């Protein structure tokens, strides 16, 4: 069977406390066991109340100083710094941080797009739990066992453009490890590990877009091993990171 990537648009603007599972089930009636549901981080953050009105933020002296130097909003910088463990790189107004989750990304994942002016969203506090809760909700409403991936848009070192990657998972391993298996010529593979959840997020983004009010995608007919893996498995350790 061919791999399918099915967009699931919704009409409602998601608010804090909304029933995301209910919105999904109403929009997509054909849930099947083994489906992978990819969810845009933005709707998870909105539903969980991870949204801030910048007018209510009191910037620190550091934020004010950085904002002055790089002509940016000090209140937005304060939110970015509050979500970071550390600044990885700061240059030309671009702030690369390591988030409290361990992700290295621009602006700690803080985002103003697709929001009312003056508001910003932050990443979910525990994206793996968000994915788990959604999968459990699907089981309760439809009695179907699915995997769930929370996706977000990240830039990449050494390459232009952005791509969607996984920031939370449930029911699927982030990495498919081929180590010890044989290639087509019988050689033993030693270091091949495919970031399958990132690749699935990239495929989902092709149908979700950024301006189509389509926060969900269903990936069907992808063969994977059901697992209790966590997103931490895809974060490179400091010991093996040559660029940190």
For the chain, the structural domain boundaries read 4-49+124-234, 52-120
Q: What is the mean pLDDT of each run of 10 residues along the chain (244 residues)?
A: 94 93 96 97 96 96 93 95 94 91 95 90 97 98 97 91 96 81 61 88 92 89 90 88 75
Neighbours of 102 (CB within 10 A): 14
Q: What is the pTM of this model?
A: 0.92
Q: Which superfamily does CATH assign the domain made up of 4-49+124-234 to?
A: CofE-like (3.30.1330.100)
Separation in Å, CA 13 to CA 19, 23, 207, 212: 12, 11, 19, 12
Q: Please, which residues bridge with residue 7 across strands? A: 217
154 close to 166: Cβ distance less than 8 angstroms: no
Say whether 52-120 and 4-49+124-234 share the same fold.
no
Strand bridging mode 147-156 / 36-40: parallel
Q: Which superfamily does CATH assign the domain made up of 52-120 to?
A: CofE-like domain (3.90.1660.10)
Dihedral sign, CA of 51, 41, 47, 231? negative
What's the CA gap between 173 and 74, in Å, rounded? 39
Give me 124's structure tokens. 């979910």
User: What per-residue confidence (pLDDT) applies to 244?
Assistant: 67
What's the CA gap between 31 and 168, in Å, rounded? 21
User: What per-residue confidence (pLDDT) applies to 174?
Assistant: 94
């Amino acid at each position: 069977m061919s791999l399918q990537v099915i967009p699931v648009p919704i009409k409602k603007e998601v608010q804090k406390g909304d029933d995301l599972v209910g919105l999904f089930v109403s929009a997509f009636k054909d849930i099947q066991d083994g489906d992978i549901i990819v969810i845009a981080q933005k709707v998870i953050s909105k539903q969980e109340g991870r949204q801030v009105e910048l007018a209510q933020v009191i910037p620190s002296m550091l934020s004010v100083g950085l904002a002055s130097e790089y002509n940016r909003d000090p209140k937005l910088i304060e939110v970015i710094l509050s979500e970071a463990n550390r600044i990885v790189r700061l240059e030309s107004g671009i702030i690369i941080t390591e988030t409290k989750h361990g992700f290295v990304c621009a602006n700690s994942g803080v985002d103003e797009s697709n929001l009312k002016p003056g508001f910003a969203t932050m990443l979910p506090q525990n994206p793996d739990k968000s994915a788990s809760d959604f999968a459990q909700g699907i089981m309760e409403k439809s009695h179907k066992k699915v995997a769930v991936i929370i996706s977000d848009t990240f830039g990449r070192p050494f390459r232009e453009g952005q791509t969607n990657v996984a920031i939370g998972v449930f029911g699927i391993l982030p990495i498919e490890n081929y180590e010890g298996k044989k290639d087509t010529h019988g050689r033993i593979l030693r270091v091949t590990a495919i970031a399958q959840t990132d690749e699935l997020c990239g495929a989902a983004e092709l149908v979700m877009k950024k301006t189509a009010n389509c926060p969900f995608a269903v990936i069907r007919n992808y063969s994977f091993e059901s697992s209790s893996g966590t997103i931490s498995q895809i974060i490179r350790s400091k010991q093996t990171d040559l660029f940190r």
